[in-house]
A and B are shown apart, each in its own frame.
Chain A
Amino acid sequence: MTAAFFGHFTYWASIFLLMAGLYIVIARGNLVKKLVGLGIFQTSVYMLYIAPGKLIGGTAPIVGEGFSVYSNPLPHVLILTAIVVGVATLALGLAIVVRIREAYGSVEEDDLLEADAKDD
């Protein structure tokens, strides 16, 4: 039981972050908080990729004498790309939130829905 937990600790952490991030996106009405939840959700993916990249007994992925097992560098490259995409998404989301604040006067989802319902 403990082996099942501690042996796969990074996966459990990844799942926890995934669920926490998605919960924040759904449950919080503040637009900025939703973006924070989205960021946490994306972070879980980074852990899911990088953790398996480290092979047991593997050294840094630079060719050296006497080493035969190297850790996998590819997940790091993939996650750098994913992090940059996440940063761009966050910046874009915050820019839209700034514009929403100027147009509606609020960044709470309930106020926005009320304002839109009044428009219709």
Chain B
Amino acid sequence: MLSQHLPVLLVVVPLISAPLIVVGRSGFAGWILSVAVAASTALTATALFVRATVSGPISYAIGSWPPPWGIEYRIDAANALVALLVSAIALVVLPYARRSVSAEIGQDRQYLFYALLMLCLAGLLGISVTGDAFNLFVFLEISSLSTYVLIAMGRNRRALTAAYQYLVLGTTGATLYVIGIGLLYLATGTLNFADMASRLGAVTDTRPLAAGLAFVTAGVGLKFALFPLHAWLPNAYTYAPSAVSAFLAATATKVSVYVLMRLYFTVYGVDAVFRDLPLGPVLAALSVGAMFIASAAAIVQKDLKRLLAYSSIGQIGYITLGISLGSAPGLAAAMAHVVNHGITKGALFMLAGAMALRVGGTGFERLAGLGRTMPITAFAFVIGGLSLIGVPGTAGFASKWALVSAAMGAGHWWIAAAVLTSSLLALAYVWRFVECAYFQAPPADAPEVGEAPLDMTAPALVLTAAVVAAGLFASPVLDAATRAAAALMGHPR
């Protein structure tokens, strides 16, 4: 009986745990409950992923109102993969969070931290599984609002301005999305994605549809830091608490990219977006801008977390480049990079947080000589960096290879050249860390440090191992991504 309600339990369990943590008022009890909830959502997401892959799309009607009149949770191979990524990252970050939260956030507010993290998790999972456009907006705002508060809990006072900047830009993005959905609703009369997809062909006046697409692209683009709408990301990731940076870098932008994929390929369809409108070249141009300009900006940063943030903007460029190809292999490459980049950045930010705990910050002057004082952490960071570059044997290589082959298959050799050239830029900024950690002496006033505590290092190393595993045994992720692309592009009804 329980198994038929798994789609809704995926969202409801984290959602209920948040007020329970607030009522409980204890940071430790909040942490225990969060870990339990993360474990249960990971199990639920795995079960749903298996079921969606084996038996096809799962449909769940909230309140038993049949779609398209009611809100429908519709889980196919694409959003099951995204939900699995989000819950897996949550499961790995939460054990890590306890020590970093105790170090960075005051005792009296820790229970609020865990409550907000659970709300953010519920929001992200809700975005993944819902099949209703306005319900997606509600979950988008749930996750975004809790994110703004989580970022504002950072130690530095600049966390507050970062949170404010993200709030203004993020709310503008969500409102632009609502305008786009409004235009779609006025044209088709429905809010259900599957129903919209089937009705869109019959609409005669296509100008509101094109306007809706533009609004939605700009709105969702603000949410996933599409270049040049990325201004909020460096500050937000740098000044947020370490556990928050790790969780957000791995999940928040990826879920928003999934929203774009859902709207482009399932609702509008490849023809409307890439053949009738020039979105392919526009998106490709912006992606190349992200890949080169953001990666170049990463090279000159003085703070490790800020470097990783700019690197994220560049890596998201690869994902949108895959989308801009407008083909199934391109979309599969983009989906594969969603997963691979998620686990890579999660690992890197967790390692950066472990370094911050031990040396007191992430500025490069403090991280000098880390290769000697924290050898395991530094080496794991280098492995993550290799994945960002795309060295064979790491997750980044698998998805970049898929992207290059998809581009060559479509005859766009210049895209392949761009991917390879920007990987050189990634090499430059990863080299900055290697040079700092291995070729510089520790600062004179450095405290005697060792590795970070095991409950912080172990989750980070688990994700680093996953990065290597996804590089050496790339087919599970690539197959799942190909199935996801097929589910996104296929006709749902």
Contacts and interface: CB of A to CB of B under 8 A. Distances in A.
Interface stretch (B95-103, B170-178, B257-265): B170-178
A82 interface: yes
Interface in B262-293: none
Interface string A68-99: 00000000001001100100110011001101
Interface in B358-379: none
Contacts of B174: 85
B160 A96 contact: yes
Contact of A96 (B137, B148, B182, B185): B148
A116 B158 contact: yes
Interface residues of B, number: 25
Nearest to B171: A89
B179 A45 contact: yes
B172 A25 contact: yes
Nearest to A88: B145
A97 B163 CA distance: 10
B487 interface: no
A38 B164 contact: no
Most chain B beta-carbon neighbours within 10 Å: one of A18, A97, A103: A103
Interface in A34-88: 34-35, 38, 41-42, 45, 48-49, 52, 78, 81-82, 85, 88
Contacts of B182: 45, 48-49
A45 B178 contact: yes
Contacts of B157: 100, 103-104
B138 A100 contact: no
A85 B149 CA distance: 15
Chain A interface mostly helix, strand, loop or mixed? helix
A92 B167 contact: yes
B304 to A, nearest CB: 15
A112 to B, nearest CB: 6
Q: A interface, how many residues as a size bin?
A: 20 to 34
A20 interface: no
Contacts of B134: 78, 81
A85 B148 contact: no
A116 B186 CA distance: 45
B168 A93 contact: yes
Given A41-B172, A92-B145, A103 B167 contact: no
A56 B175 CA distance: 27
Contacts of A22: 172
B244 to A, nearest CB: 15
Given A38-B171, A100-B161, 7 more contacts: A25-B168, A48-B182, A82-B137, A85-B138, A93-B164, A96-B164, A99-B152
Interface of A: 18, 22, 25, 31, 34-35, 38, 41-42, 45, 48-49, 52, 78, 81-82, 85, 88-89, 92-93, 96-97, 99-100, 103-104, 112, 116, 119
Interface of B: 134, 137-138, 141, 145, 148-149, 152, 157-158, 160-161, 163-164, 167-168, 171-172, 174-175, 178-179, 182, 185-186
9 contacts: A22-B172, A42-B171, A42-B175, A45-B178, A49-B182, A85-B141, A89-B171, A93-B167, A104-B157
